[in-house]
Structure 1
Amino acid sequence: MPIVAIGWIFVVVLMAAAEALSPQGSLLGAFFTLLLYGALPLVPVLYILGTPARRALRRAREQMAESVGAAPGAESGTAQADAPAHRSGAQPDA
């Protein structure tokens, strides 16, 4: 899928260059060509097409977290118990 996005951006950049270099064109027209033909249509399409990959990554992370938590001898919350209770440089009252 990235090759389609790269090809689309290439075509849009050429369209914007033609708009900017045309005697009747302008840089503002080229900017809006890039924005309206390039970025706005491409962002939602790439987001939707990337959904299966994000879902698989999330499932893999959840399975990894479950397997680490279910390891023999591992107690839940030990990582939190070992971590300091504060994150700032101030020392707690003794």
Structure 2
Amino acid sequence: MHLVVIAWLYVAVMMAVAEATHANGSVLGAIVTFVLYGLLPMGIVGYILATPARRKARRAREAAEAAQAAAPASAAPDSVAPDQGGEAPADAAVAPVRKED
């Protein structure tokens, strides 16, 4: 695929050079020729031909995300829950002391 794109762009460059160096040609015409005969068609062809690779990468990414979501919580690294700070838990039988206002 890459060889075809490179060859076509070479042909488009040669067409642009011929347009620019012709007696009735111009640099603007050469730029338009290169864009319309070279970059635009090869961009479309490259996009279409790369579709299977993009689809494969998307499916692999989705499978990795699904595997990560389906992994059990025990497989996660040990972490401290936000409510489990450095203090020991209070005795359930003793009511907390509050200040009087």
TM-score (norm 2): 0.67
* Cα separation, 2, equivalents of 1:74 and 1:44: 45
Task: Report what 2:95 is aligned to.
Answer: none
Root-mean-square deviation (CA), in Å? 2.3
- Number of residue pairs aligned between Structure 1 and Structure 2: 78
Larger Rg: 2
Gaps of 5+ in 2: 77-81, 83-101
Higher relative contact order (CA 8 A, sep 6+): 2
* Cα separation, 1, equivalents of 2:75 and 2:46: 40
Task: Report what 1:5 is aligned to.
Answer: 5
Displaced runs of 4 or more, over 6 A: none
Of 52-61 and 66-75, deviating more is 66-75
Equivalent AA in structure 2 for residue 67 of structure 1: A
Q: What do residues 15-34 of structure 1 show as CA deviations (whole Å, max 9, x unaligned)?
A: 10111112221111101101
* Cα separation, 1, equivalents of 2:43 and 2:36: 11
Gaps of 5+ in 1: 76-81, 83-94
**Which protein is richer in helix relative to its size?**
1
The Cα of 1:60 is off from its aligned counterpart by 0.4
* Cα separation, 2, equivalents of 1:15 and 1:24: 14
Task: Report what 1:67 is aligned to.
Answer: 67
